[in-house]
Chains A and B, each alone.
Chain A
Amino acid sequence: MDKTNSAGCTVAIHAGVDVFQYFGLGRTTVRSTSCNPSLWRIGQGGYYDASDTSTVDATFATMWTGSDSLRRDLLGWQTVAVFYGLHNVSYESGPGSLAAGTGAYAIRDQRMIPSIEHNYLDDWFAVGGDITNYYGLRGAVSEFGDWMLWKITSTLRQPTYEAAKAVLQSPPPAIAAGYILPYAPGQTVSIDPSQRTPDIFSKEAPPGTGLTIHRDRRCISHARGCGRNLQP
């Protein structure tokens, strides 16, 4: 899918399929742009975290919901990228909360496979996320945790590596974000203003069902949602 922004730049927009570039497993997707290719992506660090790391079980349970909680932020990032006609990428990403302690056990647990699959397939790519780098390939384990995709050179049958392969072998998920516009002439849809996404950095109150629009402030709506500077 191509779109052209107000600067006349056309970029290809479609579900991302490139992942784990650090590990060299990313698929190559040909994209084109009519403008300077040096600026056609914006990105953040897309880590998903566990809110409870007291046990390995709790870590996995809350990593799952942590990924789902991140989805709202992903929608916000995607919205900003879409606004400018850019791609939304993660300069680094992966499971967080892997600090020394239970994290060392979690990353070696087979449940890491569905956890990583869930994050990338159900949340990251499903909202339109594009290329994402997995952190990290190899490195030293430290007090900050063990984050490696690949640790033991004699075998690649490690949960994180298996997860990477599973993601790469899965078809790109359908994009589930965005309010679907009507497709029959004359048909009308109503975008409920309560469906906006508040800005996580503005510390605004939970949204109400109406919107107050302030002067000179802009609301970026990702389908049903709006971005910063709108107060309920």
Chain B
Amino acid sequence: MRVAAAGTYNLELFGHGSDSSAEVNVLVDDKTIGTLSLSSSDGTSAPLTFTVGPGLHALSLASATTEKTILPPGTGAILIQLRSGGGIAVVPSAPTNLNCAAGGFYRVSFLGDDNHCKHLQCSALHAERRTIRSDNNRASEYICRYHSHKWFYLLLRGKRNEQHGNRKDLRTGRHLSLPIECAIKPISSGYHGWRWRFRSVLRWSDCDSLVDASIQCVWVQRIPFDERNQFHTLDGILPKRSSIY
């Protein structure tokens, strides 16, 4: 977890245990903040409260009983809500280790703001659906155009999960693809000074088996068209980022 300023949060689990006695110990860094219980059917646990300072923090879950506790695919979740304090991080989170299999449905959400973009005009929010492809474990395809002055890139890297679960690097000329829908929605009513807060939700489904992929979220200022092409023509060497990410 990444925290910009000290804050107090509630943590809940959504899911179920293999029986009604399932309990999970929850630790933040090396401190136990409490134990949560889950029933045998999907539901939200009681909240645990923790306070952390700025920086990176580790979240640990460990079963407190002999039973396994399952956060079900597609719906199981670790929910964290800010109660007080906190601060705006200046970069989006960067999802890693994405998965995709035929018939699956996946989503990940992340937050960010435009603290570094002083000329943002938040008028043309929209979503796109596009397939992004990766060659030889490197590639990128921009997917979301936020508005005319700001581009939202998703850089996809990953490996196709080949026969029988063996992982092999993709070779040149082979692709993995990830049909993905990106929606960027404001989560507040508008400007806060120069800041614009947003929530981006990525959804993807129905792709080939995929493991160890990552999507790197890159915000860039408006850049020339030919510079965008460098993503594909520099033999795997990405241009230096012109702005924050």
| B9 within 8 Å of A (CB atoms) | yes
Residues of chain B within 8 A of A78, CB atoms compared: 56
Residues of chain B within 8 A of A196, CB atoms compared: 97
Identify B108's interface contact among A205, A211, A224, CB under 8 A: A224
Interface of B toward A, CB cutoff 8 Å: 1-4, 7, 9, 15, 24, 27, 29-31, 52-74, 76-84, 86-99, 104, 106-112, 136-138, 157, 161, 165, 167, 169, 187-188, 197, 211-212, 214, 216, 235-238, 244-245
State whether A206 touches B99 (Cβ < 8 A). yes
How many chain A residues touch B (Cβ–Cβ < 8 Å)?
80
State whether A211 touches B81 (Cβ < 8 A). no
Identify A64's interface contact among B56, B63, B84, B237, CB under 8 A: B237
Closest to B18 in A: A212
State whether B94 touches A177 (Cβ < 8 A). yes
Given A13-B55, A219-B60: A61 in contact with B68 (beta carbons within 8 A): no
* Residues of A166-190 contacting chain B, CB below 8 A: 174-190
Identify A194's interface contact among B24, B31, B97, CB under 8 A: B97
Interface of A toward B, CB cutoff 8 Å: 1-6, 13-14, 51, 57, 60-62, 64-65, 68-69, 71-72, 75, 78-80, 82-85, 111, 114-115, 118, 128, 174-198, 205-226, 230
Residues of chain B within 8 A of A174, CB atoms compared: 90-91, 244-245
What is the total of A-B residue contacts with beta carbons within 8 Å? 269
State whether B80 touches A191 (Cβ < 8 A). yes
Identify B89's interface contact among A6, A64, A180, A230, CB under 8 A: A180
Residues of chain A within 8 A of B107, CB atoms compared: 192
Identify B188's interface contact among A114, A184, A192, A219, CB under 8 A: A184
Min CB–CB distance A232 → chain B (angstroms): 9
State whether B81 touches A225 (Cβ < 8 A). no
Q: How far is the CA of A183 from the CA of B188 in the complex (A)?
A: 11
Residues of chain A within 8 A of B93, CB atoms compared: 176, 178-180, 223-224
Residues of chain A within 8 A of B84, CB atoms compared: 185
Max chain B Cβ within 10 angstroms of own Cβ: one of A68, A128, A208, A230: A68
Q: How far is the CA of A181 from the CA of B62 in the complex (A)?
A: 21
Given A65-B137, A65-B157: A177 in contact with B56 (beta carbons within 8 A): yes
